[in-house]
Structure 1
Amino acid sequence: MPQACTYVVFGATGNLSLTKLMPAFYHLEEMGRLQEEVNILAIGRREWSREEWVKVAREAVSPKARGGINETVFKRFCDRLDYFQMDITDPAAYQALQKHVEDSNWSCNMAFYLSLGPDQFAGVVKQLGKSALLDETRGWKRVVLEKPFGYDSDSAKQLQLQLNQYLKEEQTYRIDHYLGKGMVQNVMVFRFANLMMEPLWNRNYIDHIQITHAEDKPIGTRAGYYDTSGAMRDMIQSHLLQLLALVAMEPPASMDAEDLRDEKVKLLKSIRSISKNNVNSQAYRAQYSEGTVNGKAVPAYLDEPGVADDSVTETYAALKVYIDNWRWAGVPFYIQTGKNMPKNKTLVSICFKHPPKQFFRDSQVKKMEPNWIVFGIQPEESIWIEMTAKQPGLEINTQQMSLNATMKKEGEQSNDAYEELLLDVIKGDRSLFLRYDEVKAAWKVVDPILQAWASDASYIDTYPSGSWGPAGSSKLFDSADQGWRYSLKTEGL
């Protein structure tokens, strides 16, 4: 159950807070999910008054509010807001922060959301610990960390060692907003709540599985972060490997947080290591060149503000992995992500094998299509199943037919993933947050690729903005029958 809580948001004036966190808090207020004793304290460097912060918060919430701002709801929301100006590198400021919370007579249960750069995590947690703000003798204390958690395995380990000095694992909430998406959770429900799926969910029936995340936007103002990160770190190491884990893991003993996370870790550890010799056959990278997206001409990545002229940072990354366990031995998993593609789209596509004998193949010229189950994660929230059936008429000619379960009505807006995750922090539900061994296992998968790419800075493939990525990524597929799928609906359906 939600409890009384003081939510302290570091970096509250930054982009993440204004575009995601404040609108999410507002919608929780609108849904009546926040206890009366929940207060939201924004931390920033600017010398703002509370009234100035409320005005900024309103400007942030207005374009995101579903159906427009409800003034009654917004007044209740504003009553929760406060602003505290501080330099997060100043130890004395944390004592002042503690005094401000005590003087305000707010709840001793405190959640610290670090909407900051990852290089600032350790320093802030250190000061919180030294000032006794993480002491749980009076109320619980929880710290929410945004991705990325480290830059590779070694940096993640060093960060964890620093955090361990002041923070217990059960106090640590490593957030991955992808896990808060309704359709991501629906993957688990579809698998584990339907008995007819479990006998088919293995190497005997599934040919391959694809996970595609496409964005129709460039890097925007994120060059400072993105040009040192790239698509492999930004999307695959975190979000998409988590999605793979949910698709492929064994049924957990229960839906409790630790049972669920145990199975995800077990799955990630089962991914076959990629040797340096196999990087070129199991991974592909590219960078968007100029082109047209949504009818507008857009520049190449190298022409974006803040990007180095000789950058070989990938804006597209694709990966093929194998899972060395009983269920998935020999089944390839293909993952890809890219920017400046034609549409925003996230799909999980499961392709089944052909029947042992295609009885009806002779009744038509083309080869019969395989069965598919496709999860539309965003923007289409849907489960799409493709099967073969007889065409109307006297002859036995086959056709591909589909069953479409749409999770969202036309015009209906979904809850943002941050709404559920912010609420889970208050409830103490860590099932949708990452444990350190999950982070460590995910870095282990991509580290060999990142090291190989870092040592080869002479060339990177390109793809036109507005296209579905580089043609060269098709070399990852194990057979000529396999290819990337970009939509719920295939041609001819």
Structure 2
Amino acid sequence: MPLEKINGHPTVKIGKLGPSGALCEEVSSDPCAIVIFGASGDLTKRKLLPALFCLFRNKLLSKGFFILGLARTDISEDAFRMEMAKAVKKAGNFDYAAWEEFAKRLHYYQTGYDEGSLRKAKSYMEDLAETHATGRNRILYLSTPPSVYASIIEAVAASGLASEEQGWTRIVIEKPYGRDLESARALEKTVGSHFREEQVFRIDHYLGKDTVQNIMMFRFANSIFEPIWNRHFIDHVQITASESIGIEKRAGYYEEAGVLRDMFQNHMLQVLSFVGMEPPSVYKSEMVRDERVKVFRALRALDRESLKDSLVLGQYVDGEVGGKFARGYREEDGVGRRSLVPTYAAMKLFIDNWRWQGVPFYLRSGKRLKSRFTQVTIQFRAVPHQMFSGIFEEEIGPNAVIIRIQPDERIQLKFHAKNPGSRVCLRDVVMDFGYTEGYEGIVLDAYERVLMDCMIGDKMLFIRSDAMEMSWEWLTPAIEYSENKGQGNPELCLYRAGSFGPVEAERFIGRDGRKWVNYER
């Protein structure tokens, strides 16, 4: 295949691989309009505009593109551009010359989200499409509160914005996709009434992280790991998403969501699917997504009795994080003083299939923990026979592969070796691969990656309708159990801000003779 084309899309050279000098190329996007609903909000400023500007600055966007921000906020187009310039500067890597060109493609239109208002916005959008030569291709990005998703989608359809008569239309829906199984199904019914599944991009930015995608490469491009990636060799798997921040200014959302909805229903289960999936016959979007869905189908069902022994819930109290005082969850602005919303959860689950039968997966995530890190730990079984017993005082620990997704992206293989010298002494050693080592060029962050994939129509890193519904269905018993306020309600374990979580979580995994693998930078 010639270098200048991949699957019909033009490519841009973004870097090379170390000493070999092999070129690494990125597909350039199709001409399109990016229409952001709720453009005056926090997500647009913190994530979307900085990501789009980075793509533009690195020449990864088509020459035919524009961004149209839609919101109810009464602000002029020039004032909107100034606000976005501040946001992009704050994100770093600002370039004045590039911004001057980028700003010419950045527009704003004050509007309500009813049919009549969106018809007027559509007319303005069509004029911009002619000016910027986008071919009437458009991405509709919902960056609004989830409570208005359904009404916006209905109005979008009624106004004609969902039409594909003169180009393609794609809709991007941010998490949370519903707040429970019933609401997720209701939203899905609304979406499915007006958009085909090929048009719908349910975004989970965690899947845009290169190190998440690299799990597949590590497993399926290396013959030494896949043969031992199963119940015969693996003792257990840990998936940790630890956050040092609190809820910031999202008390209203978090009081409704809690950690299970916020992290487990999406991020944690999606990472689990990459770790547990079978190899697809071909590396294509739908085939990869088929295999991830099979993992959800194989999850052992949860019930109240099993949850008593397989779920720990916690909530942070005041403490110290990074040398600074951190107030407790119930002291956060907007949080009830008797709130029982969990900010931490540790869970044990099983995948009932041939590969993973009997292997426990330990998932944990929490707010206001000691350090910020997300990692997958594959811990292998101990050696079958202790031939060195009587020689070493300490027990020979298991080998492990650690895949760190953030912040220090790397893969580590932990094993044992002899110390130099005449005495037979063991030491733990680590083979360490830093993700960007040996690579020279552009590294896309999560939002840059998923925005690019949306523009070229690649859905591999987006969540399919059946996967979304199955994840809600599987997690529902745990959510109901955690929210039970009556007799037999679960214990809410308190933990200090700045710790690694409640001591009950240590006992929880300790009962199985195992320990959490932590990370401190």
**Shorter-chain-normalised TM-score: which range?**
over 0.9
Q: Does 1:98 align with 2:122?
A: yes
Q: For residues 230 and 94 of structure 1, do their structure 2 counterparts lie closer, same or farther at Cα, with a shift above 3 Å needed?
A: same
Provide the rounded CA distance (Å) in 2 between the counterparts of 1:98 and 1:414. Answer: 35
Deviation at 1:311, TM superposition (A): 1.1
Provide the rounded CA distance (Å) in 2 between the counterparts of 1:470 and 1:63. Answer: 35
Write out per-residue CA displacement over residues 233-273 of structure 1, whole angstroms, 9 at most, x where no aligned residue: 10111001100100110001222111011001001110100
5 Å-filtered alignment, 1:91-490, equals 91-104=115-128, 105=130, 106=132, 107=134, 108-408=136-436, 415-456=444-485, 460-477=492-509, 479-487=511-519
Asked whether the equivalents of residues 231 and 316 of structure 1 are also in contact (C-alpha less than 8 Å), the reply is yes
Partner secondary structure for residue 264 of structure 1: helix
The code of the aligned residue for 1:98 comes to K
Partner secondary structure for residue 361 of structure 1: coil
Asked whether the equivalents of residues 384 and 488 of structure 1 are also in contact (C-alpha less than 8 Å), the reply is no
Asked whether the equivalents of residues 316 and 494 of structure 2 are also in contact (C-alpha less than 8 Å), the reply is yes
Unpaired runs of 5+ residues, structure 2, are: 1-8, 10-28
Provide the rounded CA distance (Å) in 2 between the counterparts of 1:414 and 1:336. Answer: 28
Unpaired runs of 5+ residues, structure 1, are: none
Q: Does 1:12 align with 2:39?
A: yes
Query: Larger deviation: 441-450 or 425-434?
Result: 441-450
TM-score, normalisation: structure 1: 0.96
Provide the rounded CA distance (Å) in 2 between the counterparts of 1:203 and 1:437. Answer: 27
CA RMSD after TM alignment:
1.7
The code of the aligned residue for 2:108 comes to Y
Provide the rounded CA distance (Å) in 1 between the counterparts of 2:397 and 2:492. Answer: 35
Deviation at 1:416, TM superposition (A): 1.9
Q: What is the aligned partner in structure 2 of residue 73 from structure 1?
A: 98
Provide the rounded CA distance (Å) in 2 between the counterparts of 1:22 and 1:346. Answer: 25
Asked whether the equivalents of residues 341 and 467 of structure 1 are also in contact (C-alpha less than 8 Å), the reply is yes
Provide the rounded CA distance (Å) in 2 between the counterparts of 1:311 and 1:57. Answer: 36
Partner secondary structure for residue 380 of structure 1: coil
Deviation at 1:488, TM superposition (A): 8.0
Deviation at 1:409, TM superposition (A): 5.7
Choose from 37, 41, 48 the match for 2:75. 48
The code of the aligned residue for 1:109 comes to N
The code of the aligned residue for 1:289 comes to V
The code of the aligned residue for 2:252 comes to G
Deviation at 1:445, TM superposition (A): 2.2
TM-score, normalisation: structure 2: 0.91
Q: How many residues align?
A: 486
Asked whether the equivalents of residues 125 and 167 of structure 1 are also in contact (C-alpha less than 8 Å), the reply is no
Provide the rounded CA distance (Å) in 2 between the counterparts of 1:76 and 1:358. Answer: 67
Asked whether the equivalents of residues 371 and 519 of structure 2 are also in contact (C-alpha less than 8 Å), the reply is no
Partner secondary structure for residue 176 of structure 2: coil
Among the aligned pairs, what percent are the same residue?
36
Asked whether the equivalents of residues 276 and 452 of structure 1 are also in contact (C-alpha less than 8 Å), the reply is yes
Runs of 4+ in 1 over 4 A off after TM superposition: none
Q: What is the aligned partner in structure 2 of residue 87 from structure 1?
A: 112
Partner secondary structure for residue 151 of structure 1: coil
Partner secondary structure for residue 439 of structure 1: helix
Q: Does 1:21 align with 2:48?
A: yes
Provide the rounded CA distance (Å) in 2 between the counterparts of 1:188 and 1:256. Answer: 12
Asked whether the equivalents of residues 294 and 466 of structure 1 are also in contact (C-alpha less than 8 Å), the reply is yes
Provide the rounded CA distance (Å) in 1 between the counterparts of 2:255 and 2:159. Answer: 36
Q: For residues 361 and 27 of structure 1, do their structure 2 counterparts lie closer, same or farther at Cα, with a shift above 3 Å needed?
A: farther
Deviation at 1:429, TM superposition (A): 0.4
Provide the rounded CA distance (Å) in 1 between the counterparts of 2:137 and 2:345. Answer: 41
Deviation at 1:478, TM superposition (A): 7.1
Asked whether the equivalents of residues 371 and 520 of structure 2 are also in contact (C-alpha less than 8 Å), the reply is no
Provide the rounded CA distance (Å) in 2 between the counterparts of 1:362 and 1:424. Answer: 57
Deviation at 1:21, TM superposition (A): 0.3
The code of the aligned residue for 1:474 comes to E
Asked whether the equivalents of residues 360 and 397 of structure 1 are also in contact (C-alpha less than 8 Å), the reply is no
The code of the aligned residue for 1:236 comes to F
The code of the aligned residue for 1:171 comes to Q
Provide the rounded CA distance (Å) in 1 between the counterparts of 2:517 and 2:442. Answer: 25
Provide the rounded CA distance (Å) in 2 between the counterparts of 1:191 and 1:480. Answer: 27
The code of the aligned residue for 2:187 comes to L
Write out per-residue CA displacement over residues 356-381 of structure 1, whole angstroms, 9 at most, x where no aligned residue: 11222322111011101001110010
The code of the aligned residue for 1:445 comes to W
Deviation at 1:65, TM superposition (A): 2.4
Deviation at 1:341, TM superposition (A): 0.9
Partner secondary structure for residue 444 of structure 2: coil
